[in-house]
Amino acid sequence: MIHYMSEESVLAIHQLTKQFGGHVAVKNVNLEIIKGDILGIIGPNGAGKSSFLNCIIGTYKPEIGEIFFKGENITSLSTHRIIRKGMSRTFQVPRVFQECTLLENMLTPVLHLKLPKNQLVRKASALLERLSIGGREHDLAMELSGGQQKLLEFARSLMLDPDVLLLDEPFAGVHPTLKEVMVQGIREVHKEGVTMMIVSHDLPPLYKLTNDIIVLNQGEIIARGNPKNLQNDSVVVNAYFGR
């Protein structure tokens, strides 16, 4: 089968369906993401947002559908290989190594690279600094607040210079001050050319970052538009805002 993919598209998703037992978590999703875009993903709890990201980065294997990353079909590749091709992600509940230092956490994605350690350490320090947790390289991750752990995970996701970054609820449970740091950090990384998909049920910070938002409901994309379009869309209001 030949799939149309526009030249600037970095991710193309065709008819993606993921089921758990009889339950359809992601249902026939078609989507194309242009290089340099930020796509927001919203939808009620259980809509399939995290499952969708998990399918894209290879953690879940879809029953139906295909995913193209920079023109290559990655549907059957392992997460590990997809990451090495330039995709990265963060988790809804940050998965940092609590008993390791911030620096050790930062270096885990790059251990396989044969780069001089001091170069990697400098890069790690600069990223931590940028996300307001600089100078704490030798503290343990468990000493950070929940929001700071999200910033650490975000910083770590940048160590391999991804082309595409998938962020799952980056603002959830984050103190308002740190939320602003997160928004600013995402903005800067985006300016450097990273394409992003951001799942967020927290709408104000998401709206600061993008006008291009899809709404998932029961695994399906029920709308795509800017915040204003969506707030005036009765299907969206019923599925989401109405609750």
Ligand X SMILES: Nc1ncnc2c1ncn2[C@@H]1O[C@H](COP(=O)(O)OP(=O)(O)O)[C@@H](O)[C@H]1O
Q: CB nearer to ligand X: give 92 or 184.
A: 92
The three-state (H, E, C) secondary structure of 76-117, written as one string: CCCHHHHHHCCEEEECCCCCCCCCCEHHHHHHHHHCCCCCCH
Binding window for ligand X (CB under 6 A); candidates: 18-26, 61-69, 173-181, 231-239: 18-26
Residue 25 touches which of ligand X, Mg ion, none (CB < 5 to 8 A by kind)?
A: ligand X
Site for Mg ion contains 50 (CB under 5 A): yes
CB 230 within 8 A of CB 236: yes
Q: CB nearer to Mg ion: give 49 or 123.
A: 49
Q: CB nearer to ligand X: give 23 or 122.
A: 23
The three-state (H, E, C) secondary structure of 125-144, written as one string: HHHHHHCCCCCCCCCEHHHC
Q: CB nearer to ligand X: give 163 or 168.
A: 168
Please give the structure tokens belonging to residue 130. Answer: 């940028």
Please give the structure tokens belonging to residue 148. Answer: 């700071």
**DSSP-assigned beta bridge partners for residue 69:** 11, 72
Site for ligand X contains 173 (CB under 6 A): no
Q: CB nearer to Mg ion: give 68 or 154.
A: 154
Task: Dump the DSSP string for 10-34.
Answer: EEEEEEEEEEETTEEEEEEEEEEEE
Question: CB 60 → ligand X: shortest distance, Å?
Answer: 7
Q: How far apart are CA 37 and CA 232, in angstroms?
A: 23
Q: How far apart are CA 212 and CA 226, in angstroms?
A: 5
Question: CB 102 → ligand X: shortest distance, Å?
Answer: 27
Site for ligand X contains 109 (CB under 6 A): no
Site for ligand X contains 46 (CB under 6 A): yes
Binding window for Mg ion (CB under 5 A); candidates: 48-56, 58-66, 127-135, 204-212: 48-56
Binding window for ligand X (CB under 6 A); candidates: 48-56, 102-110, 119-127, 170-178: 48-56
